Amino acid sequence: MALTQLQVDYINLKPSQREYFEGLADTSSSDGVDYFEKVPAELRGDPELVEAYLNGGTVEVPVWVHQRGAAGGYYDTVEYKVPDRDWSHDVSKANGGSDSADNGRFEEASVNRSRGADNSTAEEQAAADEASQFDAEVLEEGTLFTDLEEVAEATVWAEAAELAGGAFDFALDFIAPVVGGGVAAKAVYDRFDKPADKWGFGSLAGGLTALLLCTPPGQAATGCYLGYRVIRRGYNLWEKHSAAN
Protein backbone atom coordinates (compact mmCIF):
# COMPACT_ATOMS: atom_id res chain seq x y z
CA MET A 1 0.00 0.00 0.00
CA ALA A 2 1.35 3.40 -0.99
CA LEU A 3 2.24 5.82 1.77
CA THR A 4 0.51 9.17 2.01
CA GLN A 5 2.57 12.37 1.85
CA LEU A 6 1.90 12.87 5.56
CA GLN A 7 3.38 9.46 6.34
CA VAL A 8 6.40 10.08 4.10
CA ASP A 9 7.08 13.41 5.81
CA TYR A 10 6.78 11.73 9.20
CA ILE A 11 9.29 9.03 8.27
CA ASN A 12 11.72 11.72 7.10
CA LEU A 13 11.69 13.54 10.43
CA LYS A 14 14.68 13.39 12.76
CA PRO A 15 14.44 10.44 15.17
CA SER A 16 14.17 12.84 18.13
CA GLN A 17 11.21 14.56 16.45
CA ARG A 18 9.38 11.28 15.88
CA GLU A 19 10.05 10.38 19.51
CA TYR A 20 8.44 13.65 20.60
CA PHE A 21 5.25 13.00 18.61
CA GLU A 22 5.15 9.37 19.73
CA GLY A 23 5.58 10.54 23.32
CA LEU A 24 2.47 12.69 22.95
CA ALA A 25 0.60 9.59 21.78
CA ASP A 26 1.77 7.34 24.64
CA THR A 27 -1.42 7.58 26.70
CA SER A 28 -3.95 8.00 23.89
CA SER A 29 -5.60 6.09 21.09
CA SER A 30 -3.83 8.34 18.57
CA ASP A 31 -0.41 7.69 17.09
CA GLY A 32 2.50 10.03 16.42
CA VAL A 33 1.34 10.79 12.88
CA ASP A 34 -1.97 12.14 14.21
CA TYR A 35 -0.12 14.75 16.28
CA PHE A 36 2.31 15.49 13.46
CA GLU A 37 -0.70 16.29 11.26
CA LYS A 38 -1.37 19.26 13.57
CA VAL A 39 1.83 20.89 12.26
CA PRO A 40 0.98 23.16 9.29
CA ALA A 41 1.19 21.19 6.05
CA GLU A 42 3.61 23.59 4.35
CA LEU A 43 6.28 22.87 7.01
CA ARG A 44 6.04 19.08 7.33
CA GLY A 45 8.44 18.29 4.51
CA ASP A 46 11.35 20.15 6.15
CA PRO A 47 12.51 18.82 9.55
CA GLU A 48 14.36 22.08 10.27
CA LEU A 49 11.18 24.12 9.84
CA VAL A 50 9.25 21.63 11.96
CA GLU A 51 11.91 22.05 14.67
CA ALA A 52 11.64 25.84 14.56
CA TYR A 53 7.83 25.69 14.61
CA LEU A 54 7.84 23.53 17.75
CA ASN A 55 10.88 24.83 19.64
CA GLY A 56 11.19 28.39 18.41
CA GLY A 57 13.72 30.10 16.18
CA THR A 58 14.71 33.32 14.49
CA VAL A 59 13.64 34.07 10.93
CA GLU A 60 14.76 36.84 8.60
CA VAL A 61 11.79 38.01 6.55
CA PRO A 62 12.15 40.19 3.43
CA VAL A 63 10.08 43.40 3.51
CA TRP A 64 9.61 46.11 0.90
CA VAL A 65 10.65 49.54 2.14
CA HIS A 66 8.97 52.32 0.17
CA GLN A 67 11.28 55.17 -0.82
CA ARG A 68 10.59 58.21 -2.92
CA GLY A 69 12.59 58.34 -6.11
CA ALA A 70 13.10 56.47 -9.34
CA ALA A 71 13.59 53.08 -7.70
CA GLY A 72 10.50 53.48 -5.55
CA GLY A 73 11.99 51.50 -2.68
CA TYR A 74 14.11 48.52 -1.80
CA TYR A 75 13.97 45.18 -0.03
CA ASP A 76 15.27 44.89 3.51
CA THR A 77 14.99 42.18 6.14
CA VAL A 78 13.44 42.14 9.58
CA GLU A 79 13.96 39.55 12.28
CA TYR A 80 10.97 37.64 13.64
CA LYS A 81 11.07 35.34 16.65
CA VAL A 82 8.98 32.18 16.33
CA PRO A 83 7.90 31.14 19.86
CA ASP A 84 8.33 27.78 21.53
CA ARG A 85 5.16 25.66 21.39
CA ASP A 86 3.50 23.10 23.66
CA TRP A 87 0.77 20.59 22.96
CA SER A 88 -2.34 22.28 24.36
CA HIS A 89 -5.46 20.34 25.36
CA ASP A 90 -8.79 21.89 24.36
CA VAL A 91 -10.46 20.22 27.34
CA SER A 92 -7.82 19.96 30.04
CA LYS A 93 -6.87 16.63 31.56
CA ALA A 94 -7.92 18.04 34.95
CA ASN A 95 -11.45 18.42 33.53
CA GLY A 96 -11.57 14.94 32.01
CA GLY A 97 -10.15 15.77 28.57
CA SER A 98 -8.57 12.97 26.57
CA ASP A 99 -4.99 12.79 25.30
CA SER A 100 -6.11 12.06 21.75
CA ALA A 101 -4.94 14.31 18.94
CA ASP A 102 -8.45 15.56 18.25
CA ASN A 103 -8.54 17.23 21.69
CA GLY A 104 -5.82 19.77 21.13
CA ARG A 105 -3.46 21.80 19.01
CA PHE A 106 0.00 23.32 19.24
CA GLU A 107 0.02 26.64 21.06
CA GLU A 108 2.63 29.14 22.25
CA ALA A 109 4.14 27.62 25.39
CA SER A 110 3.77 30.69 27.60
CA VAL A 111 0.07 31.01 26.75
CA ASN A 112 -0.62 27.33 27.32
CA ARG A 113 1.20 27.19 30.66
CA SER A 114 -0.42 30.37 31.98
CA ARG A 115 -3.86 28.80 31.49
CA GLY A 116 -3.12 26.11 34.04
CA ALA A 117 -5.85 23.48 34.42
CA ASP A 118 -8.57 25.52 32.67
CA ASN A 119 -10.07 24.48 29.35
CA SER A 120 -9.15 26.64 26.38
CA THR A 121 -11.97 28.76 24.98
CA ALA A 122 -13.09 28.80 21.36
CA GLU A 123 -11.50 32.24 21.01
CA GLU A 124 -8.19 30.98 22.40
CA GLN A 125 -8.24 27.99 20.07
CA ALA A 126 -8.89 30.27 17.08
CA ALA A 127 -6.06 32.58 18.19
CA ALA A 128 -3.68 29.61 18.48
CA ASP A 129 -4.62 28.40 14.98
CA GLU A 130 -4.19 31.90 13.55
CA ALA A 131 -0.77 32.31 15.18
CA SER A 132 0.19 28.85 13.97
CA GLN A 133 -0.66 29.69 10.36
CA PHE A 134 1.08 33.06 10.56
CA ASP A 135 4.28 31.48 11.87
CA ALA A 136 4.09 28.79 9.20
CA GLU A 137 3.97 31.44 6.47
CA VAL A 138 6.89 33.32 8.04
CA LEU A 139 8.98 30.15 8.29
CA GLU A 140 8.15 29.14 4.73
CA GLU A 141 8.88 32.54 3.18
CA GLY A 142 11.72 33.73 5.41
CA THR A 143 15.24 32.54 6.07
CA LEU A 144 15.76 30.55 9.24
CA PHE A 145 19.09 31.25 10.91
CA THR A 146 20.80 30.58 14.21
CA ASP A 147 21.32 33.36 16.70
CA LEU A 148 23.85 33.40 19.54
CA GLU A 149 21.82 31.13 21.81
CA GLU A 150 21.06 28.65 19.04
CA VAL A 151 24.72 28.50 17.97
CA ALA A 152 25.57 27.55 21.54
CA GLU A 153 23.14 24.62 21.62
CA ALA A 154 24.94 21.52 22.85
CA THR A 155 23.98 19.53 19.74
CA VAL A 156 25.56 22.08 17.40
CA TRP A 157 28.79 22.21 19.37
CA ALA A 158 28.93 18.44 19.73
CA GLU A 159 28.51 17.92 15.99
CA ALA A 160 31.11 20.57 15.22
CA ALA A 161 33.59 19.01 17.63
CA GLU A 162 32.96 15.56 16.18
CA LEU A 163 33.58 16.80 12.65
CA ALA A 164 36.75 18.46 13.84
CA GLY A 165 38.07 15.18 15.15
CA GLY A 166 36.09 14.63 18.32
CA ALA A 167 38.09 17.11 20.39
CA PHE A 168 35.95 19.54 22.38
CA ASP A 169 39.08 21.59 23.11
CA PHE A 170 39.44 22.19 19.38
CA ALA A 171 35.85 23.45 19.23
CA LEU A 172 36.56 25.98 21.96
CA ASP A 173 39.92 27.00 20.49
CA PHE A 174 38.80 27.39 16.89
CA ILE A 175 35.05 27.25 16.33
CA ALA A 176 33.99 29.54 19.19
CA PRO A 177 36.10 32.53 18.02
CA VAL A 178 34.91 32.15 14.43
CA VAL A 179 31.22 31.81 15.30
CA GLY A 180 31.31 34.37 18.10
CA GLY A 181 33.09 36.90 15.90
CA GLY A 182 30.55 36.40 13.13
CA VAL A 183 27.57 36.81 15.46
CA ALA A 184 29.04 39.96 17.02
CA ALA A 185 29.84 41.43 13.61
CA LYS A 186 26.29 40.86 12.37
CA ALA A 187 24.74 42.28 15.55
CA VAL A 188 26.73 45.52 15.19
CA TYR A 189 26.25 45.61 11.40
CA ASP A 190 22.45 45.61 11.85
CA ARG A 191 22.55 48.62 14.18
CA PHE A 192 23.92 51.09 11.59
CA ASP A 193 22.31 52.58 8.51
CA LYS A 194 25.28 53.77 6.46
CA PRO A 195 27.18 51.03 4.56
CA ALA A 196 30.55 52.42 5.66
CA ASP A 197 29.51 52.30 9.31
CA LYS A 198 27.98 48.84 8.92
CA TRP A 199 31.14 47.28 7.52
CA GLY A 200 33.59 49.32 9.56
CA PHE A 201 32.10 48.88 13.02
CA GLY A 202 30.81 45.39 12.23
CA SER A 203 34.28 44.20 11.23
CA LEU A 204 35.83 45.82 14.30
CA ALA A 205 33.31 44.15 16.66
CA GLY A 206 33.79 40.77 14.96
CA GLY A 207 37.57 40.98 15.18
CA LEU A 208 37.63 42.03 18.82
CA THR A 209 35.15 39.32 19.80
CA ALA A 210 37.17 36.63 18.00
CA LEU A 211 40.35 37.81 19.76
CA LEU A 212 38.61 37.73 23.14
CA LEU A 213 37.34 34.19 22.58
CA CYS A 214 40.87 33.07 21.77
CA THR A 215 42.03 33.99 25.29
CA PRO A 216 41.71 31.68 28.34
CA PRO A 217 39.08 33.95 29.99
CA GLY A 218 37.08 33.99 26.76
CA GLN A 219 37.23 30.20 26.46
CA ALA A 220 36.22 29.81 30.12
CA ALA A 221 33.23 32.10 29.56
CA THR A 222 32.25 30.09 26.48
CA GLY A 223 32.45 26.84 28.45
CA CYS A 224 30.28 28.26 31.23
CA TYR A 225 27.74 29.53 28.72
CA LEU A 226 27.58 26.17 26.96
CA GLY A 227 26.98 24.49 30.32
CA TYR A 228 24.16 26.92 31.04
CA ARG A 229 22.61 26.22 27.63
CA VAL A 230 22.72 22.45 28.19
CA ILE A 231 20.97 22.82 31.58
CA ARG A 232 18.46 25.31 30.19
CA ARG A 233 17.70 23.10 27.19
CA GLY A 234 17.10 20.12 29.46
CA TYR A 235 14.79 22.17 31.66
CA ASN A 236 12.79 23.37 28.63
CA LEU A 237 12.39 19.81 27.37
CA TRP A 238 11.27 18.68 30.84
CA GLU A 239 8.69 21.50 30.96
CA LYS A 240 7.44 20.60 27.50
CA HIS A 241 7.10 16.94 28.49
CA SER A 242 5.33 17.88 31.75
CA ALA A 243 2.89 20.15 29.91
CA ALA A 244 2.09 17.38 27.44
CA ASN A 245 1.34 14.91 30.23
What pLDDT, on the 0 to 100 scale, is given for residue 77?
A: 81
Q: Which of 145, 166, 193 is the last residue of a domain?
A: 145
- Looking at the structure, tell me whether residues 224 and 153 fall in a common domain: yes
77 beta partners: 62
- pTM equals 0.60
Of residues 239 and 51, which shows the higher confidence score?
Answer: 51
What CA–CA distance (Å, rounded) separates 20 from 12?
Answer: 14
Asked if residue 127 lies in contact with residue 32, where contact means CB atoms within 8 angstroms, the answer is no
Lowest mean pLDDT among 51-60, 86-95, 180-189: 180-189
Asked if residue 236 lies in contact with residue 84, where contact means CB atoms within 8 angstroms, the answer is yes
Give Cα 186 distance to the centre of its chain: 19
Residue 105 has pLDDT above 70, yes or no: yes
**Confidence bin at 1 (pLDDT 50/70/90):** confident
Residue 147 has pLDDT above 90, yes or no: no
- Which range marks the domain in which residue 216 is found? 148-233
pLDDT (average), residues 152-162: 47
Lowest mean pLDDT among 7-16, 138-147, 235-244: 235-244
Summarize pLDDT for 53-86 with one digit per residue, the tens: 999 999 988 777 877 765 677 777 888 999 999 9
pLDDT (average), residues 226-243: 52
User: What percent of the chain stands above pLDDT 70?
Assistant: 58
- Looking at the structure, tell me whether residues 155 and 107 fall in a common domain: no
User: What percent of the chain stands above pLDDT 90?
Assistant: 46
| Number of compact structural domains in the chain | 2
Asked if residue 169 lies in contact with residue 222, where contact means CB atoms within 8 angstroms, the answer is no
Asked if residue 240 lies in contact with residue 56, where contact means CB atoms within 8 angstroms, the answer is no
- Looking at the structure, tell me whether residues 136 and 76 fall in a common domain: yes
Q: How many CB atoms lie within 10 A of CB 118?
A: 11
Residue 216 has pLDDT above 80, yes or no: no
- Looking at the structure, tell me whether residues 62 and 122 fall in a common domain: yes
The alpha carbon torsion through 144, 149, 154, 160 (nearest 10 deg) reads 60
- Looking at the structure, tell me whether residues 126 and 53 fall in a common domain: yes
- Looking at the structure, tell me whether residues 136 and 168 fall in a common domain: no
- Looking at the structure, tell me whether residues 197 and 229 fall in a common domain: yes
What pLDDT, on the 0 to 100 scale, is given for residue 98?
A: 94
What pLDDT, on the 0 to 100 scale, is given for residue 148?
A: 40
Sheet harboring 104-108: ordered strands across? 104-108, 73-89, 56-66, 143-145
- Looking at the structure, tell me whether residues 137 and 33 fall in a common domain: yes
- Looking at the structure, tell me whether residues 9 and 85 fall in a common domain: yes
What CA–CA distance (Å, rounded) separates 222 from 199?
Answer: 26
- Looking at the structure, tell me whether residues 154 and 133 fall in a common domain: no
Q: Which of 145, 165, 188 is the last residue of a domain?
A: 145
- Looking at the structure, tell me whether residues 94 and 186 fall in a common domain: no
Residue 115 is assigned to a structural domain of this protein: yes
Q: Which of 145, 176, 199 is the last residue of a domain?
A: 145
What CA–CA distance (Å, rounded) separates 23 from 27?
Answer: 8
